[in-house]
Amino acid sequence: DAGVIQSPRHEVTEMGQEVTLRCKPISGHDYLFWYRQTMMRGLELLIYFNNNVPIDDSGMPEDRFSAKMPNASFSTLKIQPSEPRDSAVYFCASSLKGINSPLHFGNGTRLTVT
């Protein structure tokens, strides 16, 4: 099993640009989570999906953030327009049975907005 695959690994962009982060969960996992990690705020849950349906997006910081899961094997997190304070590591994770089973994290995307 290849695990959770995220792309790109690193993204450097200028303020105001659109950023799209991508995630391929582990096949057969019904839950997908997007987390953001910063030194100040630690690991924050942004949104999670169950069977491709967004269940809770209360962690999405602003309307500039949006996430989609068009099918069971692909999800995107989009920031438009990006701002310097969005700089962080964004992790995608998937699990078999939600939060009562282990979360498998991808390698993350390190986003830098200048």
Partner 1 sequence: GQQVMQIPQYQHVQEGEDFTTYCNSSTTLSNIQWYKQRPGGHPVFLIQLVKSGEVKKQKRLTFQFGEAKKNSSLHITATQTTDVGTYFCAGPNNQGGKLIFGQGTELSVKP
Give the residues lining the site for partner 1 (CB under 8 A): 33, 42-43, 45, 48, 55-56, 59, 91, 93, 98-108
* Cβ proximity to partner 1, 71 vs 100, nearer residue: 100
Q: Smallest distance, Å, CB 56 to partner 1?
A: 5
* Cβ proximity to partner 1, 79 vs 93, nearer residue: 93
Q: Smallest distance, Å, CB 16 to partner 1?
A: 29
Calculated CA dihedral for residues 111, 88, 44, 81, nearest 10 degrees: -60
Q: Smallest distance, Å, CB 66 to partner 1?
A: 19
Quote the CA–CA distance of 95 and 112 in Å, as a whole number: 28
Cis bond upstream, residue 81 (ω within 30):
yes
Cα 68 to its chain centre, rounded Å, is 10
